[in-house]
Amino acid sequence: MTSSRPGLPGLLDTEAIRKDFPVLDRQIHDGKRLVYLDNAATSQKPRQVLDALNTYYERHNANVHRGVHVLAEEATALYEGARDKVAAFVNAPSRDEVIFTKNASESLNLVANMLGWADEPYRVDHETEIVITEMEHHSNIVPWQLLAQRTGAKLKWFGLTDDGRLDLSNLDEVITEKTKVVSFTLVSNIMGTVNPVEEIVRRAQEVNALVVVDASQAAPHMVLDVQAIQADFVAFTGHKMCGPTGIGVLWGRQELLEDLPPFLGGGEMIETVSMHSSTYAPAPHKFEAGTPPIAQAVGLGAAVDYLSGIGMDAIAAHEHALTGYAVQRLQDVPDLRIIGPGTAEDRGAAISFVLGDIHPHDVGQVLDEQGIAVRVGHHCARPVCLRYGIPATTRASFYLYSTPAEVDALVEGLEYVRNFFG
């Protein structure tokens, strides 16, 4: 499915792919074709995923795990089948290591809470330290702030270099013998930076700290192999990877999931309940209280099939080519300053920038009038804005259906913005 365009090797056949995404035909503002460049916020959904949802609801819908009737068995097989698919997608050693949550935020909170309530050696308490980075999404900051506040643990973090990379020059001072957990993003949602997992993991393992990887911006865009990155937990979210809203994933190492305490209590997560005490089911069920997001898991399974059908390597290559093109064209726009890496190396397909002193809100609004959807604001990563002394950025972000023509539209749109406020 690869088309070649002069100078841009590795592009996918987006003409074919775009036919799978109904919303991309949408016209807005009196007939302007939608140019959707807000993929880091959420992706669009292919027909294949919507079909899976509809088939589930129209033929198989039932509550899972507890029924002996046909629908209940079918629904259970579909739900657990989705777990198999996701496990294979991230190369999990065992399907039982895949926990379905509602989003990446819940996944990260789940880890933080498990560690807060855990017994030794995992317990985070006032004598221990938690390490994150300054480029985390709020969903990988606030859970740790809450944990630190409630346990007395100390929260530390890696700062950023001027070109949007992690500053690991003080690696050994930040991660110390006191560090119980290191949680960081694989790919920055605001700057696109791809972080050097290996270096951080090596140091974390030296001090026996658990490693949590926020793969929300990685899972949709590249091969994600939980064994290769040697993390203990990996979190990501369905809606950014062609899946439905309302579904997230936490992968965790089996022995940890066995040892750590549950988080939410309720139906499905128990082994046996009496009024006096309860025992818990083995993982993953121990961490899935209540009726799970059944249809959404099935939809995520279909999304994973869809992405694998195209190939994660091919998707990564497509985005790499497009990002290179975009970085280069954007750097030609006067007064435009990229916040984050200035090349396509070790970077994902989200590009943040500021345009002179025109506020991103105004940039976004005037682009929208031309049919171009970008995100503006702090992108749930306000510390990055603080770090670079800016109130907000405009962010364009690409996905497997994005095209060079859309990059061109963005650049033209930005010219118009400059003239409008000039």
Partner 1 sequence: MYQEVILDHYKNPHGRGLRDGDAEVHHVNPTCGDEITLRVRYDGDTVADVSYEGQGCSISQASASVLNELLVGKNLAEARRVQETFLELMQSKGQLTPDDAMEDVLEDAVAFAGVSKYPARVKCALLSWMAWKDATAQALGESPVKEKTA
Please identify every residue annotated as catalytic.
Answer: 380
Other CB atoms within a 10 A radius of the CB of residue 2 amount to: 13
What's the rounded Cα separation, in Å, for the pair 313 and 238? 19
Instruction: Identify the sign of the CA torsion 161, 164, 169, 171.
Output: positive
Partner whose binding site includes residue 185, from partner 1, a second copy, ligand PLP, none (CB under 5 to 8 Å by kind):
ligand PLP
* Contact set for ligand PLP, span 209-238 (CB under 6 A): 214, 216-217, 237
Partner whose binding site includes residue 214, from ligand PLP, partner 1, a second copy, none (CB under 5 to 8 Å by kind):
ligand PLP
What's the rounded Cα separation, in Å, for the pair 236 and 107? 8
Q: Is residue 18 part of the contact set for a second copy (CB under 8 A)?
A: no
**Are the beta carbons of 363 and 376 closer than 8 angstroms?**
yes
One character per residue 346-365, x = contact with a second copy (rule: CB under 8 A): ---------------x--xx
Instruction: Identify the sign of the CA torsion 399, 403, 408, 413.
Output: negative
**Are the beta carbons of 1 and 310 closer than 8 angstroms?**
yes
Nearest to 91 by CA among 184, 247, 225: 225
DSSP 352-393: EEEETTB-HHHHHHHHHHTTEE-EEE-TT-HHHHHHTT-S-E
What's the rounded Cα separation, in Å, for the pair 393 and 99? 34
Q: Which of the ranges 103-111, 142-150, 223-231, 339-347 carries the binding residues for partner 1, by CB under 8 A?
A: 142-150
Of 99 and 344, the one with the shorter C-beta distance to a second copy is 99
What's the rounded Cα separation, in Å, for the pair 190 and 396? 10
Q: Which of the ranges 84-92, 191-199, 242-250, 302-310 carries the binding residues for a second copy, by CB under 8 A?
A: 242-250
* Contact set for a second copy, span 371-400 (CB under 8 A): 372-377, 379-380, 382-383, 386
* Contact set for partner 1, span 169-228 (CB under 8 A): none
* Contact set for partner 1, span 372-411 (CB under 8 A): 376-378, 382, 385, 391-392
- Among 113, 140, 179, 352, contact with ligand PLP (rule: CB under 6 A): 140
What's the rounded Cα separation, in Å, for the pair 59 and 412? 47
Q: Is residue 244 part of the contact set for a second copy (CB under 8 A)?
A: yes
**Are the beta carbons of 354 and 417 closer than 8 angstroms?**
no
Nearest to 255 by CA among 106, 117, 93, 123: 93
One character per residue 157-196, x = contact with a second copy (rule: CB under 8 A): x---------------------------------------
- Among 109, 113, 179, 189, contact with ligand PLP (rule: CB under 6 A): 189
One character per residue 281-310, x = contact with partner 1 (rule: CB under 8 A): x-----------------------------
Strand 278-280 with 270-273, pairing:
antiparallel
Number of residues that bind a second copy (CB under 8 A): 96
**Are the beta carbons of 373 and 38 closer than 8 angstroms?**
yes
**Amino acid identity of 66?**
R
* Contact set for ligand PLP, span 291-350 (CB under 6 A): 291
Q: How far is the CB of 132 from ligand PLP (least distance, A)?
A: 12
Of 250 and 366, the one with the shorter C-beta distance to ligand PLP is 250
What's the rounded Cα separation, in Å, for the pair 293 and 56? 12
Q: Is residue 267 part of the contact set for ligand PLP (CB under 6 A)?
A: yes
Q: Which of the ranges 132-140, 223-231, 340-348, 393-401 carries the binding residues for ligand PLP, by CB under 6 A?
A: 132-140
Partner whose binding site includes residue 271, from a second copy, ligand PLP, partner 1, none (CB under 5 to 8 Å by kind):
partner 1
**Are the beta carbons of 414 and 356 closer than 8 angstroms?**
no
* Contact set for a second copy, span 272-331 (CB under 8 A): 272-275, 277-278, 289-296
Q: Is residue 88 part of the contact set for partner 1 (CB under 8 A)?
A: no
DSSP 250-307: EEE-HHHHHHSPPSS-STTSEEEE-SS-EEEPPTTGGG--SS--HHHHHHHHHHHHHH
Binding site for partner 1 (CB under 8 A): 65-68, 72-73, 76-77, 142, 145-146, 149, 261, 265, 270-272, 277-281, 359-362, 365-366, 376-378, 382, 385, 391-392, 420-421
Binding site for ligand PLP (CB under 6 A): 103-105, 137, 139-140, 185, 189, 214, 216-217, 237, 239, 248, 267, 290-291, 380
